[in-house]
Structure 1
Amino acid sequence: MAMDNRAAVKRVLIITLLLNVFVMVLKVSVGVVTGSLSLIADALHSVTDSANNVLGLITNRCSSPLPDRQHPYGHQKFEAVGALGIAGFLAIACFEILQSAIERIIQGGKPVTISVPQLWLLLLVLGVNIFVAFYERRVGKRVDSPILIADAHHTMSDIWVTISVILGLIAVRLGYQWLDLVLAFPVALMVFFSGWTVIKENLPWLVDEMAIAPETINDIALKVPGVINCHDIASRGVIGRQVFIEMHLIVAARDVKTAHQITEEVESCLEEKFNPVRILIHVEPPNYKSNQISF
């Protein structure tokens, strides 16, 4: 059975929400004062960071891994839905960045001005972003939370965005005004890539993609004494979060008690390798034959 990690996830999300709001306010303030398109776009990216934390808190409240009457398989798909919501926010940020850059190319804009104290403020922002990304990723891996890992991916993209913006603004201060506009496009690409990574990691959970190759499950089952045949194997979920396995077994047993002991041993072997896992085994009569390992 999966562990309930919601208290740890909630604590991390609250801490990072406060830090992301602080970062967002600093970026917006400096961006408005300097007139930097790349920095305003980066501030928009940080708005999604805060929104992601709020979304994560809401999702975390609904994502108990423990089953109940209405959700006998648990609630963990809520967390995967939340991770896809983060990808949606990233897509919005990407669109807004590209739209602002194109408008600046067509309509033009005021020259960007940046002072040394403002650059130091942006370095402070960068330090906060680095702390948030590594903190979320470390805790997310420790408690096995996809919402924290997904948000850490988002914040990591924010780090590269902020580094690019700071370098661009240094170049602007040296007289290269065009660089601020040019940097808006790679910023958008980094945001898009971050969103795609989140989708790729969470979609298999939502569409019940095969979690474990049926041949692997078959090999483990056949090593258990008393197992004659293993067929119609299916699995779903994500290894390390929660996996569900179904299979049919033919066992060498003359009574129900012996058959039960053999299936318990098969379950124990699978749990040892893929825990947390829930397993459903259907025992066939000894004279039943099937070579169909999977569906």
Structure 2
Amino acid sequence: MKKKDRFKQAEFAAMVGIVGNIVLAIVKWVIGVQANSKALVADAVHSASDVAGSFAVFIGLKAAKQPPDEDHPYGHGKAESIAAIIVAVLLFLVGIEIGKSSIEAFFQPIEAPKTFAIYALLVSIVVKEAMFRYKYNLGKKLKSDALIVNAYEHRSDVYSSIAALVGVCMAVLGDKLRIDWLEYGDPLAGLFVSILVLKMAYDLGKESIHNTLDHVLHEEDTGEYKEIVLTIPEVKKISSFYAREHGHYVIIDIKISVDPYLTVEEGHRVGKKVKEKLMKMKNVQDVFVHINPYYQ
């Protein structure tokens, strides 16, 4: 897939997330306030954080597609991972706020939410699951950390909506059956949502930070690259091989051993062959080849 097409698809997906989350956040907030549902309002805040998250992803993708320059010779691919970290931080802050609001509700007079809050949550679950599947599959296809993280934002919203749905149903049922303690199901669901959001923020932040710190592909993931190099007859041995992940692409540092009696020009030709072979492979952005003399 051409890089231009990759970024076009990724940016479109980010815009779908922005528009979708804005609509959901507004609808859930309005209905949550009218229905007097702490859980639905918390869910609306969660969706609002997804707007900021999708926007951060959009900005990250814009930056990541910029070509290498004098200050960034390795390109701007890590902008996607940085955007993913920003999203994780936003999720963490939202989780804290939702938890705080839900805990406070336990110390205030409780009133069961209206029944129509249930319908808003059902719609939210369907829409957010569809958005998750769309972005996750596209993120895997395009090897985009930012899109995958953003997809899991939608999945966390599905879980939070399910938790809110259970809580609202408990509270509505408690009100109808005159079972007072069931009415606390609504703020309890809000608290559960906050825990889900905090865990999601931790997991996604941890993975994104790992990818940002010059993470290299593990041995089992580099076999195909090495096999390609060893098809070149002049390459006697691969002395070292590092494939560094820079967002959606890989930069390879490789040391090869060749006949020590080759001329400088001949050695250069071998290095050029190695680079050309590797550059034809998917997601390889650049290759740096070091030539060593081979001694048995």
Name the TM tier (shorter chain): 0.7 to 0.9
Give the aligned partner of residue 167 of structure 2.
168
Q: Partner letter of residue 136 of structure 2?
A: R
Out of 70-79 and 154-163, give the one that drifted further: 70-79
Give the aligned partner of residue 177 of structure 2.
none
Shift of 1:183: 1.9
Shift of 1:254: 2.3
Identity across the alignment (%): 25
SS at match of 2:287: strand
Q: Once superposed, what is the RMSD of the aligned Cα atoms?
A: 2.8
Distance across 2 between alignment mates of 1:172 and 1:102: 16
Report the number of matched residues. 285
1:32-72 superposed Cα distances (whole Å, 9 cap, x missing partner): 12222222211111110111122222222211163123321
Distance across 1 between alignment mates of 2:289 and 2:109: 68
Distance across 1 between alignment mates of 2:60 and 2:254: 32
Give the aligned partner of residue 55 of structure 1.
56
Q: Partner letter of residue 139 of structure 1?
A: L
1:190 is aligned to 2:196: yes
Give the aligned partner of residue 235 of structure 1.
243
2:222–2:243: 8 Å Cα contact kept in structure 1? no
The aligned runs of 1:127-142 (5 Å cut-off) are 127-142=126-141
Shift of 1:169: 1.1
Distance across 1 between alignment mates of 2:18 and 2:76: 24
Q: Partner letter of residue 68 of structure 2?
A: P
Out of 209-218 and 159-168, give the one that drifted further: 209-218
1:164–1:183: 8 Å Cα contact kept in structure 2? yes
The aligned runs of 1:151-230 (5 Å cut-off) are 151-175=150-174, 176-213=182-219, 220=227, 221=229, 224-230=232-238
Q: Partner letter of residue 249 of structure 1?
A: I
1:78-97 superposed Cα distances (whole Å, 9 cap, x missing partner): 11110100000110111012
Distance across 1 between alignment mates of 2:141 and 2:230: 33
Distance across 2 between alignment mates of 1:168 and 1:122: 11
SS at match of 1:183: helix
Give the aligned partner of residue 280 of structure 1.
288
1:7-41 superposed Cα distances (whole Å, 9 cap, x missing partner): 22222222221111111011111221222222221
Give the aligned partner of residue 293 of structure 1.
none
Distance 1:268 1:214, change over 3 A: farther
Give the aligned partner of residue 255 of structure 2.
248
1:222-272 superposed Cα distances (whole Å, 9 cap, x missing partner): 56433334335433216x822222233220252234323433444455456
Distance across 2 between alignment mates of 1:99 and 1:235: 44
TM-score by length of 2: 0.84
Distance across 2 between alignment mates of 1:57 and 1:160: 24
1:2–1:65: 8 Å Cα contact kept in structure 2? no
SS at match of 1:112: coil
Give the aligned partner of residue 109 of structure 2.
109
Unpaired runs of 5+ residues, structure 1, are 290-295
Distance across 2 between alignment mates of 1:286 and 1:120: 71
Distance 1:215 1:61, change over 3 A: closer
Distance across 2 between alignment mates of 1:20 and 1:181: 23
Q: Partner letter of residue 246 of structure 1?
A: D
Out of 156-165 and 62-71, give the one that drifted further: 62-71
1:97 is aligned to 2:103: no
Q: Partner letter of residue 204 of structure 1?
A: H
Shift of 1:200: 3.2
Give the aligned partner of residue 292 of structure 1.
none
Q: Partner letter of residue 85 of structure 2?
A: L
1:23 is aligned to 2:24: yes
